Amino acid sequence: MKRFLLSLFLALAASPIYLHADEPVKTGWSVGLLPAVNYNNDLGFQIGGLGQVYHYGDGSLYPQYLHKFEAHAYLYSKGAKQFIANYDSKHLIPGKRLTLSAQYMDNPLCGFFGFNGAASPYYSTLDLKKSADKDDGIAFYAHHQQRFLFSADVQGSLAPGLTWIGGVQYTWQRYADVSLSPYNGTETLYHQYVETGLIPEEDNFGHRVELKGGLVYDTRDLEANPGRGIYATAQVTGGGSWSSACRTSLLFSADVRQYIPVVPSLLMLAYQVAYKGLVAGSLPFYALPAFNMRGSYSTRIVGNGVAWGSADIRFTAARGTLLKQFFEVGLVAFADAGGVVQPYELEAQRLLGDHTTVKTLDGETFGPYRCIFDPAVATGERLHISVGGGFFFTMNRNFVTAIELGKPLNPQDGNFGLYINLGFSF
């Protein structure tokens, strides 16, 4: 895989190609139905399909669209099932943008790595997933997640490039021990957190409703694959979570992204600086802000507040038309950095530093490890950094597939991650 990615990178980087590069203007309805055979570091190999339907009208706004519909259905090699339906339009409600999304996820091996980033030690030997004889196994950094989400957002214009945004989101979730054979669901970090009270029983099931409002400043020339412009948001979110008990919270988030054409239509620098954190109240563990660093696991770095930055260099190596469709192929190199700036239950976590884990697998003993908190490994939070690269494909400027390989600089954050996603990470 590494040799293949390197060979493709060098071949594309050798010289830009522009054959039949005149871009046809799309009108009416454009339908894309594609099988999906992808890979995600958290979920494994993905098999499924997706459909995207764009309505461009008379083409006067192309590459902008009038309406966009999406439907996804995926199965993953680690056992998860995911279904997604999205709708987006700036024209259904005159003068307003409406975005609707519904998602369902059933993930029997959902990652759980503890709280507060580096304060939770990570042991790669406990991240093995099964034994050779299939009668026992390790799924130490996992729990079972079931989650349904529906959201509706509306945006309205205040000034050129500046809009207000308001929305509502409802989430139902249930979390439990891993129940798949050959894993022992009681020998997991999640089970230890529940058993010791770091995760209260009432947080493992329930509902959450969030209301948000804020401002969006957007001067991007194209949302899916911008060549220039700024995208900045500032939002306040009020939420309530309830099952047998009710917990309320107020969060603030800010996100600034800029896309700088170093060489127009050929080489671009994109960067992001962001923060999300708790202002008042308290959060259940499943609603904690997370820093999703490419190359690590999406739930590795969580807390009451996280801050991060990312930078991409995107090089368009070739573009052209095929079967009346406009395609682009390019390369990307990136770096991510961030961490927890507001800890979550850190003192309670420290008090459990004597809690140890021993695991025997195929006759080999692992441990004892201090898995909740180990002062020898995790003396405090630090800056988490990863670097990597990959390539991307676009069709008709709006359909983007990005394939990226990321490597954390510290082995406590993981080994590496491969991602094949629809769209760029930002």
- pLDDT tens digit string along 124-149? 888 766 555 555 577 889 999 999 99
Task: Look up the pTM and report it.
Answer: 0.85
Residue 19: CB atoms within 10 A of its CB come to 9
Structure tokens at 118: 């580096």
Selection from 234, 203, 425 nearest residue 333 by Cα: 425
Q: Which two tokens stand for residue 247?
A: 């917990």
Q: Mean pLDDT across the chain, nearest whole number?
A: 89
Q: Which two tokens stand for residue 160?
A: 């050129």
The pLDDT score that the predictor gives to residue 415 is 87
* Residue in 71, 147, 75 with CA at minimum distance from that of residue 105: 147
Between CA 50 and CA 325 the distance in angstroms is 18
- Percent of the chain, pLDDT > 70? 92
- Rounded CA-CA distance 302/289 in Å is 6
Vertex 384 angle, CA 383 and 388, to 5°: 135
Tell me: pLDDT of 5 over 50: no
Whole-Å CA distances, 152 to 84, 106, 234, 280: 14, 22, 18, 24
Q: How many CB atoms lie within 10 A of CB 254?
A: 15
Judge whether residue 17 has pLDDT over 70: no
Omega prior to 261 cis, within 30 of 0: no
Least confident of 124-128, 206-210, 317-321: 124-128
Q: Are 258 and 270 in contact (CB under 8 A)?
A: yes
pLDDT tens digits, 25-42: 888 898 877 787 777 778
Q: Of the candidates 157, 192, 164, which has an alpha carbon nearest to the alpha carbon of residue 178?
A: 192
What is the pLDDT, as a whole number, of residue 250? 98
The yes-or-no verdict on residue 286 having pLDDT over 90 is yes
Matching residue, tokens 């993953």:
76
The two beta strands, 267-281 and 67-76, are: unpaired
Q: What is the pLDDT of residue 80?
A: 94
Answer whether residue 7 shows pLDDT above 70.
no
* Distance separating alpha carbons of residues 138 and 323, to the nearest angstrom: 49
